[in-house]
């Protein structure tokens, strides 16, 4: 297979077609000729939104230039929708990335960029803690619930903080739009985990639990635990398939086997995506729903996941609009994960909160000016810490290393379970890695890195000291400084000091104060002295039955005679209050 990333960049440079949402106009280039295009996207007043989210996913599918594996469901989605090749995560790992998606804020601005802060306390000597954004910040799903949407998550959360109970109508392996009442508009998230890096571990086999996507909503179905054996695992790709091996990995049998597993996992994920899309069609909801497919960051392989090279940040995005509007087009604009929350609100006609650090690229509140830059950050991964920041325009990536005397490679035990990682370490110890493969293992880093991502898609040729690129280097330095200041990021702040800052100078995690329940004019009123707290409540009827959902309190409400109210206060980064009645 050809170098699919280089091929993709070349292809896109000659076939860029932008879409135009809600009557916006722009100009596009095709084969060097400017073409003015204008069109409108017709959406329902309250469109349903379906997010299909896979893990550890680089552009390894046909609609993004890689034809190694057949993905009929994703290819159909791309044929009927819009392909966005330039979607970038804010981090090369899942929890910080998901924090950005759900809050619309950069993880490094809210204390969410250190991965696995509730564990590895012995290794780091630090207490367990979570992100703590400003008081006004809500998960985007809670904002949709407040505005009448039924919101479900199936089934992974992992936001680098504990989500409040007000965030979802349901978050479980049974969560499904089918559980809503009547024709209530919905926002439903389905997470597919077979493409996760752990899917490369030995012994190889698919997770039995992935069949939940075929039985979502069926509460009588019980899933098998653990993994299938390799013999039980469906084979979607011939084992003697020839693979293109990126130059930062050695071409050995173990690496080729991991590449086979990666593509086989993608094919299984595609099958699961198809199962959910079939349910949507069976329910007659396809043409009233906006469908997003994306990964939670870049690829699963070593020197991909956890790094802020494009291999760790770039992930496919496909959006299908009702009635196949803009079908088969490519939108090449730069997009960031912080743009998801404002775009989701914009598509549903909800006013955007002022705290959002991203911008809407679709819908009622779509910005007039597209992004010039995307930004990324890397800090702690499990028990190991670094401090790296990146900014990228449509061609060049600038990386600033705040710990240049520390090597790039971090001995993360979880990653070292991957046979390819074990192979890299073996060849490193033998002195058998070539000059590109050895870059990751050098003992020190350059303080600054600059890459031309068009001619050097694997980011192995550092141009920072080349005088020809002095102007671009200075431009991206200035943009990085602007961004860091704008979001209040202190890249090399010791983590213990970060915790003190998040905990507002206290020795322990702050706790939301208990809500107060009062009755005024026969209406139940809830209040809480914790600034920015979300208040959730349930009704207990006179027979003692408790409602299933934690409703989001917005205004005083009535209850039937003999009923009671139970309430709890939440704020992201705080321990929830005690439940009061």
Give tens-digit pLDDT for 365-390: 999 999 999 999 999 999 999 999 99
Residues in the chain: 581
Which three-class secondary structure state does DSSP give residue 29? strand
Reported confidence tier of residue 209, pLDDT bands at 50, 70, 90: confident
Please name the residue that has the structure tokens 């960029």. Answer: 113
Residues 399-431 have pLDDT tens digits of 999 999 999 999 999 999 999 999 999 999 999
Q: In percent, how much of the chain has pLDDT > 70?
A: 93
- Bigger pLDDT: 37 vs 77: 77
Architecture of domain 377-502: 2-Layer Sandwich (3.30)
94 is catalytic: yes
Q: In angstroms, how far apart are the furthest CA atoms of the chain? A: 79
Q: Where in the chain is the domain with CATH 3.40.720.10?
A: 4-376
Contact 123, 141 (CB under 8 A): no
All CATH 3.30.1120 domain ranges of the chain, comma separated, are 377-502
Looking at residue 35, what is its pLDDT? 23
Give the class (CATH, top level) of 4-376: alpha beta
Catalytic hit among 94, 151, 453, 528: 94
- The alpha helices in 173-252, defined as continuous H runs, are none
Share of residues in the chain with pLDDT > 90 (%): 87
pLDDT (mean) for 307-334:
97
| pLDDT at res. 17 | 34
Between 278 and 13, whose confidence is greater? 278
Place 215 in a pLDDT band, splitting at 50, 70 and 90. Answer: confident
Residue 546 CB neighbours (<10 A): 10
Half-sphere exposure of 167 (CA within 13 A, CB side): 20
| H helical segments located in 149-292 | 253-282
Looking up tokens 């173990």 gives: 254
* 37 confidence band (pLDDT: 50, 70, 90): very low
Question: Is residue 38 predicted with pLDDT exceeding 70?
Answer: no
Average pLDDT over residues 147-173: 96
Those residues whose C-beta lies under 8 Å from the C-beta of residue 427, and which sit 6 or more positions away, are 250, 252, 433, 437
Is the pLDDT assigned to residue 125 strictly greater than 50? yes
- Give the residue-averaged pLDDT of 141-153: 98
Using the Cα atoms of residue 90, residue 95, residue 100 and residue 101 in order, give the sign of their dihedral: positive
Mean pLDDT of the chain: 92
Question: Span 318-343, mean pLDDT?
Answer: 97
């Amino acid at each position: 297979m050809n170098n699919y990333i280089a091929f993709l960049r070349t292809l896109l440079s000659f076939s860029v077609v932008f879409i135009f949402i809600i009557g916006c106009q722009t100009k596009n280039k095709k084969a060097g000729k400017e073409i003015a295009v204008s069109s409108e996207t017709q959406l329902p007043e309250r469109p349903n939104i379906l997010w299909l989210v896979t893990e550890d996913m680089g552009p390894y599918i046909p609609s993004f230039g890689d034809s190694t594996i057949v993905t009929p469901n994703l290819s159909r989605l791309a044929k009927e929708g819009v392909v966005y090749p330039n979607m970038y995560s804010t981090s090369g790992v899942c929890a910080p990335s998901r924090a950005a998606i759900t809050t619309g804020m950069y993880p490094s601005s809210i204390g969410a960029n250190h991965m696995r802060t509730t564990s590895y306390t012995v290794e780091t000597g630090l207490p367990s803690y979570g992100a703590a954004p400003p008081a006004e910040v809500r998960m985007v799903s809670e904002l949709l619930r407040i505005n009448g949407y039924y919101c479900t998550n199936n089934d992974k959360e992992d936001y680098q903080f504990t989500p409040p109970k007000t965030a979802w109508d349901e978050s479980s392996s049974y969560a499904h739009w089918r559980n809503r009442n009547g024709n209530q508009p919905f926002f439903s998230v389905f997470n597919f985990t077979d493409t996760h890096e752990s899917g490369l571990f030995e012994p190889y086999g698919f997770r039995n639990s992935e069949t939940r996507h075929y039985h979502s909503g069926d509460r009588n179905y019980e899933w098998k635990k653990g993994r299938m054996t390799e013999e039980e695992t469906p084979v979607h790709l011939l084992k003697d398939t020839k693979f293109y091996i990126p130059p930062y990995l050695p071409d050995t049998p173990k690496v080729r086997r991991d590449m086979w597993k990666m593509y086989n996992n993608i094919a299984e994920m595609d099958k699961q995506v198809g199962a959910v899309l079939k349910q949507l069609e069976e329910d007659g909801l396809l043409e009233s729903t906006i469908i997003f497919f994306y990964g939670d960051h870049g690829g699963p392989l070593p020197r991909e996941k956890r790094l802020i090279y494009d291999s760790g940040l770039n992930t496919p995005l496909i959006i299908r609009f009702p009635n196949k509007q803009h079908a088969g087009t490519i939108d090449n604009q730069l997009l960031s994960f912080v743009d998801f929350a404002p775009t989701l609100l914009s598509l549903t006609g909800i006013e955007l909160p002022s705290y959002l650090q991203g911008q809407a690229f679709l819908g009622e509140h779509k910005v007039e000016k597209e992004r010039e830059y995307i930004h990324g950050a890397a800090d702690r991964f499990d028990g190991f810490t670094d401090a790296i920041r990146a900014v990228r325009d449509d061609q060049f990536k600038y990386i600033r290393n705040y710990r240049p005397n520390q090597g790039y490679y971090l001995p993360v035990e979880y990653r070292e379970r991957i046979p390819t990682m074990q192979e890299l370490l073996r060849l490193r110890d033998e002195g058998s890695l070539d000059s590109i493969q050895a870059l990751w293992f050098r003992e020190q880093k350059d303080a600054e890195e600059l890459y031309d991502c068009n001619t050097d898609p694997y980011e192995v040729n550092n141009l920072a000291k080349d005088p020809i690129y002095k102007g671009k280097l200075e431009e991206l330095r200035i943009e990085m400084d602007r961004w860091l200041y704008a979001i209040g990021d202190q890249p090399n702040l010791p983590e213990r000091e970060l915790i003190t800052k998040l905990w507002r100078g206290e020795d322990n995690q702050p706790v939301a104060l208990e809500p107060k329940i009062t009755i005024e004019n026969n209406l139940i009123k809830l209040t809480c002295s914790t600034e920015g707290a979300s208040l959730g409540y349930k009704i207990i009827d006179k027979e003692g039955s408790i409602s299933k959902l934690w409703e989001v309190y917005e205004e005083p409400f009535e209850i039937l005679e003999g009923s009671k109210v139970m309430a709890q206060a939440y704020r992201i980064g705080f321990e929830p209050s005690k439940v009061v009645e």
